[in-house]
């Protein structure tokens, strides 16, 4: 509704409209000319708010103020949205204990910030013959995080030469 330009006053080209007056009262189905005259009498505009209805629904209101309020509501809803990013942490199947702890700490901070995390184990050369080692590494990451930190969106699965899983933060109450 806000994206398309609404038809106002003489742009409304139907014979009858369902009218809501400037006080919010239902006036029923009235001829368009009568609705226009009523709008002009009060110094306001006749705005088609539901063009898909039969007959189209129209309101008598101040069009400039109406557009401003719509834009304001749109800005407010955008302000309250949080953009969730997908962060990625890469590891190898023969990762050392300290490196695993260090990278798990990064996963934890990403989850605390409210981002999703993709944990990836990359296999090179003959490592591809032992994909179970990658599964062990990913399970260790989950153990180090603890159950209260994450929701497992996608279980560990092979994608070409990598094994990955996706974690999202648990919603805090």
All structural domains of the chain with their residue ranges? 9-77, 86-169
- Output the pLDDT for position 100: 94
Please state, in angstroms and rounded to a whole number, the distance separating the CA atoms of residues 38 and 23: 12
- CATH architecture under which domain 9-77 falls: Roll (3.10)
Confidence (pLDDT) at 1: 42
Q: How far apart are CA 21 and CA 76, in angstroms?
A: 27
Q: 50 by DSSP, 3-state: which?
A: strand
User: Tens-digit pLDDT profile for the chain (173 aa)?
Assistant: 444 677 888 888 888 889 988 888 888 888 988 888 888 888 898 888 888 888 889 999 988 888 898 899 888 888 877 777 899 999 999 999 999 999 999 999 999 888 999 999 999 999 889 889 999 999 999 999 988 888 999 999 999 999 999 999 987 65
CA 165 to chain centre: 23
CA 96 to CA 94: how far, in whole Å?
A: 7
Same fold, 9-77 and 86-169: no
131: nearest Cα among 163, 165, 88: 163
CATH class of 86-169: alpha beta
């Amino acid at each position: 509704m806000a994206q398309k330009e609404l038809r106002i006053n003489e742009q409304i080209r139907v014979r009858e409209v369902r009218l809501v007056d400037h006080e919010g009262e239902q006036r029923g189905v009235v001829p368009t000319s009568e609705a226009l005259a009523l709008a002009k009498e009060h110094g306001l505009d006749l705005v088609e708010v539901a063009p898909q209805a039969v007959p189209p629904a129209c309101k008598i209101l101040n069009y400039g103020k109406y557009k401003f309020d719509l834009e304001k509501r749109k800005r407010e809803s955008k302000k309250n949205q949080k953009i969730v990013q997908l962060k990625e942490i890469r590891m190898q199947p023969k990762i050392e204990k300290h490196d695993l702890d260090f990278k798990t700490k990064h996963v934890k901070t990403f989850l605390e910030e409210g981002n999703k995390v993709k944990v990836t184990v990359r296999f090179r050369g003959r490592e591809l013959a032992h994909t179970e080692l990658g599964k062990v590494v990913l399970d260790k990451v989950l153990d180090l995080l603890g159950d209260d930190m994450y929701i497992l969106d996608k279980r560990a699965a092979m994608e070409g030469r990598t094994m990955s899983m996706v974690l999202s933060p648990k919603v805090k109450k």
